[in-house]
Structure formats: C-alpha cells, structure tokens
Structure 1
Amino acid sequence: MTAKPIFELLTQDSREKIIQQSFSLLEEQGVDVNSPKALKCLVQAGCTADGIRVKIPRKLVKSSIESAPSVIKIYDRNGIEAMDLGKQNTYFGPGPTCPNFFDAYTGERRKAVKNDASLTALLTDALPNIDFAMSLCMIGDKTKELADIHEIDAMMRNTTKPLVGWAFNARNLQIIIDMCAVAAGGLETLQEKPFIIIYSEPTTPFVHSKDALEKLMLLAENNIPCVYTPGMIMGATAPVTVAGALSVGLCECLTGLVLSQAVRKGAPFIGGAPGGPMDMKTMQHSYGAPEWVLLHSASVEVFHALDIPVFTAAGASDSKTVDAQSAAEAMLQIIGALGTGGNLIHDVGFMDLGMTGSPLHLVMCDELIGMARRMMEGVPVDEDHLAREVIEDVGPGGNFLSEEHTFEFFREEIWNPSLMDRHTYGDWQKAGSKTMTDRAQDKMLELLQTHRPKPLPDAVLKKLEQLVEAAEQDFTGNPL
C-alpha cells in the first residue's frame, strides 16, 4: 500500500479535550432553540428545556453520533454514484451566496444574476477536478425571497454533477425537494440515490433559528442529506483561539445532529465547524488567512474522530483579482483539505472576503486541485515502480526516453497540466507571452462556448418551470 502525505494538527488527546469540552457545554450551558417544533422534539428525545434554553445530555449526543451514518453515498443527476462522503475521501465544489460576481466575459464586478448560477454549473460540469455544483452567487435579478429556488433550477439545468444548495425556509425547501424529485423520477428514487445536499446553519454562538432547525427537520423527515455547520468568526462570534472556536462550533453542529437523529434515526448528516479569523486591522472576516486553514483542518480531524462525514472549505481568497495572492491562498487551503481528508470541500472560486464569486478563479483552482491531488497520491514502491530491470537494461550512459517502461508509466507518474506553462521562454513569447491568468481566461471562455451538459428531458423541464412559476405566484399571494 502506498503511504500518502497527511496532516495531523491535533494529537488524540487534543481532539478528545475539544470533544469533551463541547459535550460539557451542551450538557451544562446549553443552546438556544427558537423553534417550538424542534424544542418539543429535543425534549422528547431526553433534553431539558428552560424556555428556549436547551441542555443536551452527553449520553444523548453520543447515541446520536452512533446512529448517524459514517459514510453517505451521493449520486449524480442520472443516478450514477459520484461521491462517497466519509473516511478520507475528498470532493471539491464552489460555494454559495456571494452577492457579487465577476462577469465571465468582461471581468466587471457586479451584482449576481440567475445566469451566473447557470454559468457556474456549466463550468462545474466541464471541469474534471470540480466534483459537485454550488452556485458561487446569491441571485439578485429574481424575487429575492425565492433566490434559493431559482438557484436550484439554474444548476439542475446545466450540470449532471451532484448539487449542494440551501434554502431560506422550510416552505422553499419543500419546493426544492419537489424539484429534485421530479428530476430523479420520484421522491423514493431521490431518497435512494440523492443528488442533492442542502446546507443549513446555526447562528454562532449557540443560537439555532426557527428556519435553520425546521429545514434540518424537513430534510431528516425526507431522508435527504443535510449539512448543518456554523460559520464562526474567531475573535468576534467565537473565541479568538482555534481550539476555543472549534469547541463552540462543534457544540452547534452536534445540536443539529441530535435533532436530526431524533427526527429520524440514521438520517444522513454532514458535520463540520468551519470559520475563520477576524482581521483586527480591517475588521473583516478573512478567508485567506492561515488560521482559516488551521480551523478548517482541525475541524476535519475532530469529525473524523467522531466518524461523521465532514463539510469544509478550500479554494477561496481575500484577493480582489485572480493573481499570485489568490493562487497562494487557494493552494494552501487545498493542500490542507486534502492532507486532513476533508470530505465535502466547498468555496472553490470565492474571492473578495467571500463577497464575490469568480468563475475565473474556479477554473484556475481546478488546475491547482489537480496538481495537489497528484502530490497527495504519494510514492508507490513496488517491483514495477522500482524499475530494477529497466535500470539494468539501460545501464551507465544510456537514456530511458525510448524504453517501454517509460511509455507504460509516464502518464500516471507525471501530472500533465492544462494551464501551467512548461515551454521555453522563446516558445512562451511566440504563444503570446500569456500569464496563467490569461490562459485560465482562455480556457474558461472556450468551455463556455463549447461545453454542453446533458439536458434534462423536456417533460422534466416543463415540470420545473411549473414548480418555479407556482412558487412565484404563491409568494405574490402569500409573502413570508
């Protein structure tokens, strides 16, 4: 077996201290639960409540961890297995909810529109190292309260890869489930082979909103995978220390886990405690800081110790343009995610402190992920790879270029870039003296022009149109 590079930021003792502190906080301090339905369910499961403050006994937390699946299989839109979430399996995709977007054709930073979600999904479909789709945006040119529904509609039409989405509330989520069931051929088929994962989020520190909890419960009832993770800001909504922030985030995530298992034992649940530091000079939440990587990587290690599939992030940058800063920050995160074995890794293509989605950065990160994945494959050492026979055949002063062994192994042994330049200086000049950013732009435009995802059947498209239109009409008559 090939030994692969791994990171280990926390000792077993350190992981246990963080876990036990979280158990103690849940049991002794508790959390605020702002949904009467969720509150009732938690009390019936064995929690105690004083108003909205709920305390969760560690025995219940442990039993919930045991009942949750340690591996979750996710399929593509066609019912083919695409992701095996758990263990050290890693999959990358874009992130959600950026209010701004860098236009793919002009580079202009502007408000995001529905077509940006469509464009991101198309690029996701085409890029080999992007494994699932998120929208990279918060749609701003449709009814704002239905942006989540329009996002799923846009993505489903433009990629067959798995989708990770979100919803404003349980009412919108039910429509999204109905849309996905139409594409899958029915709710039972969707439950058997889910191609959608929905993200919900508590409010750090220790607050769980009505919408967040009721979305979680609806997903558990329907046996559809849910990500329930906070977004801590170290030094602002969570302690400034990585260990302290992680213990807070773990409490919040485990509250969701307990509720999901109380609703449906064995409900598919994806955890995590991601976040990043508050930059004390700018008072901004930094996505590119090394502490962001430390927190995400440590979170992965803790959730691996609990044997829960883990949601984390990589491929983001604080930079305002695709440049050396964006590449350096993204690559550090990608290596961290692969080294710790994060499972569902989102935010590829995030820029500008998480405020702007960049399809160009997404394309560049696809190359970086491919490069990092090659490094993380490690070095196999066996008879074929030691190459003793060919070494003796060539002997002193010979060369290996024409050897059959070279022809047999060079494709798997030497990673072949699609964007990085390895030509001579003269050949680089003849090709236009283009930077990697230039080449990424060329590749992006070519993919947008030539790639055509497998379309949905006409009957499914018509039903999706009807569901979206019905949501619009219902909202007009019954706004939230």
Structure 2
Amino acid sequence: GLTEWAVRTAPSQIIIYNREGNKAMEVGGNNTYFGPGPTNTYHMDIYKEERRKPITKDNENVAKVCDYLKNIDFVMDLGTPRDVTPILSDVYAFKAMVNNTKKPIVHWGFDMDQYNDIVEIAAAVAGGLEELQKRPFLALYSESSPPLVHSAEAINKAIFAAKKRLPIIYTPCVISGATSPATLAGTIAQGLAESLPGVIVSQLIKEGSPIIIGGVYGIMDMKTTIYSYGSPEFQALQAGVAEVAHYMKMPVFGTAGCTDSHILDAQAAAESAMSILMAASSGANIVHDVGYTAAGATGSLFQLVMGDEIIGMVRRIINGFKVDEYTLAVDEVVKAKPGGEHITSMHTYKNFKDETWFPNFMDRWRYSEWKTMKGAKSMGDKIKEKTREIVENYEAPHLSEKVLKDIDSILQKAEEREAKKYEKTHKKKK
C-alpha cells in the first residue's frame, strides 16, 4: 500500500552537518544525539533565579552554552522571544542561534512565510541554497494536532521541506488520557499513525526526502492535569516509539533531559537522568528537550548544563567496554601477584583515562576535602557557577559581518511584509 511504499522509500539515515559544512550527526540506527527543546513560554533567569518571559538574548545564550557543552549535539531555542515582532519571533530566534553556534540547528516556524525566511537565512549562512541542500545544518520541524488532525500548515511544511530537499521532523505531541488513549500501547499506535501522513506526503513530493518520525509521547497527570515530562510512563513511551521506528528502519525523534520540577533540585536530576538513560538505551536519534523544566513551561540553562553532565555519564555506560586479550590484562594480574597493587603500573597509567569517566559537577572528594578545599558546594551550586561563567566568558563563533548584513536584509523584508499584512487585515476590520 501507499504507507508501506512511503516508509520504504524514506531514508533510514540522514546526515546533518554543522554550520561550517562538516558532518555532525548521522541520524539513524542507534546513534543518539542530544539538544535542548523549543518554544518555552518562560525562561529561568540565571542571576535572579526566577522565571520571566524569554528575549532574543536568551536564545543567543542558549546557543552559546550549547556550543560550549561537549555532550550537546544540536541547538533549539529553549524559549520564544518576546522582545521582537511576535509573528517573526521564530525568525529572530533562528538568527540568534545561528550567529552563536556552529552546531546543527533544529527549528520550527509559525507559517510558510517564516519557513521561507528561516531557510533563506540558512542559505545565506551556507553560501547558497544548493550548498545548504548538499550539507544541511538545519532540520525543520512540524507537528500534527492530536487527535488525528493535520492542519494545512503542518502538511505544507512537510511539502516545503521535501521541495527544498531539507530534513524535516514530522511528529505529534500526544497526551495519554487526554489527546490519545489512556493505554500506552494505544498512545504509541495513534502517535505513529499521526507521523505517517507526513512521511507519505514528503515521499510523494520526492522519493527519498529526508524525514524523521517520533515525537513527544507522555501522559496527563490526572491530579494536576499537567503534561508530565518526568513520569515513568513518559520514559516508557519514548522507548516504545524508538523501538517501532527502528523496526520501520526510520530515524526517530525523542525526548529527554526534562523535568516537571520548577528548579534545579533532586527531582530535576532524577527525572533527567532516567529519561536520558532511556533515550540512549533505546537508540532514539535526535533527542530534544534537554533544559525543559516545569513540565515544559520554562527553559533553563541550569537544567541544560546539568543535562550535559548526565549525558556524559550515560554515554559512558552505553559505550560499554572492550573485552580482548589486552583488556583482560591477565599478564598484569600475574605481575601484581597476590596482595600487590596496580596503582603504580604503567598499564594503569596508559589506560585509566580511556576507561574512566570523570564528572565536572558530581562530587567524589572525601568529606574533609569537600568541606575545606572545595567550599562544601553542592552539585547545583557548581552547575549555576559554571553556567554563569560560560554565558559571561565563552566567545561564541559569530558569523561574518557580510553574512549578518544579508540576514538583517532578510529580516527587514520580513518586517515590511508582515506590516503590510497587518495593515491589510486592519483595514478589512474597519
């Protein structure tokens, strides 16, 4: 049938590059890449430690922090800026990100005009649309509207991406017990059914068009009515979706590094760790929402930086260890003899750095050293200090003045277009 044909023709692996045209992510198989999420209503101020409305400076800082963190692989905006023309906030957020990171960007758009603006900016950065198509550093994003509704806007975005030969993530955000069945299996079945029309449309436009399925699958907490980002069911659903996508041989979009907690605390750490471990274990490919707090309402750089530490820890677990004649080190065991030691062994010196993961924020000092030498700081204290240090001191890899002028020209045209549309609508109302 049509659906089976579309799934077969869609690519099982998609290569996404960085801003400089170097291969950055091989999206497919069990390769897992982590990054923040988009469109949060609030942003956690890193100095006042209170939530507020996001601004474009926050998008710049998110990109800068992502560029610095070695376990964060791609960038999303972590908040819709409120200090610009509202209908163009998606475009301004993209400019803020692309000017502050070399890493790949996953981004959304309000409508087709904004999609065009964003791709035009990306093409200006890449050196033209053809160069962007050859080495895309941008993956577009579109969502259905559960249950089982696909707006013209959502489908048009899938068509647009296929025509532009750019990767797109086409997913639902399903809420078990609210917009999907209360059973987890039913939620996965409905959610995947909602991804497939995007696959069909993209392949009808052009066979082999790069498209990624998956999404955000969770439950509604029946006590508070929030969409829970920290529930065990949330983790199980993400793993289930990844499993089915692997069976279909399609790249999958996942979710992790998020929490229902409002602050950087034990709950935030526990929920983040569980979801990151589950995402990596299940082989989800592009895993977003690292840095989400308050059930997705608030974007937090503290949560993002903590997520980087947890991702590093989880990757060490997932990578496992090599077993061969050298690593079994039988000769070393014999050499040390009963009652001996391996601390002074050259074998230890050569191998301990490769075999052992070292944390940046988790504490391993003895109590007396932690108290007297390390200032008795908690993990949270250290994360907050490091976050502020990155924002204040890290030199982001900015674009050239020429490219920035081209981007500003695109934004100016977009402002003029939206002003005309507003004026036309306003006159009709009068």
TM bin (shorter chain): over 0.9
Q: Note if 1:386 corresponds to 2:295.
A: no
Q: Of 377, 383, 395, which residue of structure 2 is paired with 1:440?
A: 383
Residue 20 of structure 1 corresponds to none
Counterpart in the other structure of 1:263? 205
Structure 1 residue 199 displacement after superposition: 0.8
Query: How far apart, in 2, do the equivalents of 1:105 and 1:462 lie?
Result: 32
- How far apart, CA to CA, are the structure 2 residues paired with 1:281 and 1:460? 51
Q: Which residue of 1 aligns with 2:428?
A: none
Which has the higher mean CA deviation after the structures are superposed, 442-451 or 158-167?
442-451
Q: Which residue in the other structure is 1:103 paired with?
A: 45
CA distance in 2, matches of 1:281, 1:421: 36
Q: 2:304 aligns with which of 338, 362, 368?
A: 362
Aligned to 1:457: 400
Cα separation, 1, equivalents of 2:369 and 2:387: 23
Task: Specify which of 227, 230, 240 is matched with residue 298 of structure 1.
Answer: 240
Displacement of 1:110? 0.5
Per-residue CA distance 1:113-142 (angstroms, 9 max, x = gap)? 111111000000000000000111011111
Residue from 404, 413, 422 that aligns with 1:470: 413
| Corresponding position of 2:91 | 149
Name the counterpart of 1:50: none
Q: Report the CA distance between 1:273 and its aligned residue.
A: 4.2
- Local SS of the residue matching 2:214: coil
Counterpart Cα distance in 2 of 1:263 and 1:211: 16
What is the DSSP-based 3-state SS (H/G/I as helix, E as strand, rest coil) of the residue aligned with 1:77?
A: coil
Q: Secondary structure at the match of 1:385?
A: helix
1:38 match: none
1:208 aligned counterpart, secondary structure: coil
2:278 partner letter: G
Matched residue SS, 1:215: helix
TM-score normalised by structure 1 residue count: 0.87
Partner of 2:22: 80
| Matched residue type, 1:72 | I
SS in 1 for 2:219: strand
Q: Give the superposition deviation at 1:249.
A: 0.7
AA aligned to 1:113 is I
The answer to whether the 8 A contact 2:215-2:255 is kept is no
Report 1:4-19 matches (<5 A).
none
Which sits farther off after the overlay, 449-458 or 101-110?
A: 449-458
Q: How does 1:223-262 map to 2 (within 5 A)?
A: 223-262=165-204
**CA offsets per residue over residues 406-430 of structure 1, 9 Å max, x none?**
1111011110111111111111112
The equivalent residue for 1:189 is 131
Stretches of structure 2 lacking an aligned partner (at least 5 in a row): 426-430
SS of equivalent to 2:405: helix
The SS at the match of 1:312 is strand
Q: Which residue of 2 aligns with 1:221?
A: 163
Q: 8 Å contact 1:293–1:333 — kept in the other structure? A: yes
Q: Distance in 1 between matches of 2:152 and 2:275?
A: 33
Q: 4+ runs of 1 displaced by more than 6 Å?
A: none
CA–CA separation in structure 1 for the residues paired with 2:217 and 2:420: 38
Per-residue CA deviation, residues 6-42 of structure 1 (Å, 9 max, x unaligned), is xxxxxxxxxxxxxxxxxxxxxxxxxxxxxxxxxxxxx
- Matched residue SS, 2:141: strand
Q: Deviations over 1:301-324 (max 9, x none)?
A: 000000000001100000010000
Indicate yes or no: 2:74 matched with 1:132.
yes
What is the deviation of 1:394?
Answer: 1.2
RMSD: 0.9
CA distance in 2, matches of 1:379, 1:122: 33
Task: Give the 3-state SS of the residue equivalent to 2:153 in structure 1.
Answer: helix
Counterpart for residue 289 of structure 1: 231
Question: Are 2:261 and 2:294, in contact at CA under 8 Å, matched by a contact in 1?
Answer: yes
CA displacement, residues 308-356 of structure 1 (integer Å, 9 cap, x when unaligned): 0000110000001000000000000001001100000000000001000
Picking from 391, 416, 419, the partner of 2:358 is 416
Matched position secondary structure for 2:295: coil
Q: Within 2, Cα distance between the matches of 1:88 and 1:453? A: 31
The partner residue of 2:121 within 159, 179, 184 is 179
Q: CA deviation at 1:173?
A: 0.2
* Correspondence for 2:4: 62
Give CA-to-partner distance per residue, 1:275-310, whole Å, 9 cap, x none: 210101111111110101111110000000000000
The yes-or-no answer on 1:278 pairing with 2:231 is no
SS of residue in 2 equivalent to 1:73: strand
Check whether the contact 1:126–1:451 (CA below 8 A) recurs between aligned residues: yes
Paired letter, 1:248: Q
Secondary structure of the corresponding residue to residue 271 of structure 1: strand
Give the superposition deviation at 1:274.
Answer: 2.7
What is residue 33 of structure 1 aligned with on the other side?
A: none
Decide whether the 8 Å contact of 2:169 with 2:213 is kept in 1: yes
Deviation readout 1:207-226 (Å, 9 max, x if unpaired): 00111111111111000000
- TM-superposed CA distance for 1:379, in Å, is 2.8
Shift of 1:449: 2.0
2-structure distance, mates of 1:444, 1:155: 17
Give me the identity figure in percent: 42
Point out the more displaced range, 466-475 or 288-297: 466-475
Query: Which among 142, 154, 157 is matched to residue 212 of structure 1?
Result: 154
Which amino acid counterpart does residue 426 of structure 1 have in structure 2?
S
Q: Is the 8 A contact 2:202 2:211 kept in 1?
A: yes
The 2-side partners of 1:128 and 1:374 are apart by 14
Matches of 2:41 and 2:9, distance apart in 1: 37
How many Å apart are 1:400 and its aligned residue?
0.7
Report the Cα offset of residue 452 of structure 1. Answer: 1.1
CA contact (8 A) 1:227 1:269 kept: yes
Q: Residue 450 of structure 1: CA displacement?
A: 2.1
TM-score norm. by structure 2 comes to: 0.97
SS at 1:275 equivalent: strand
Aligned length: 422
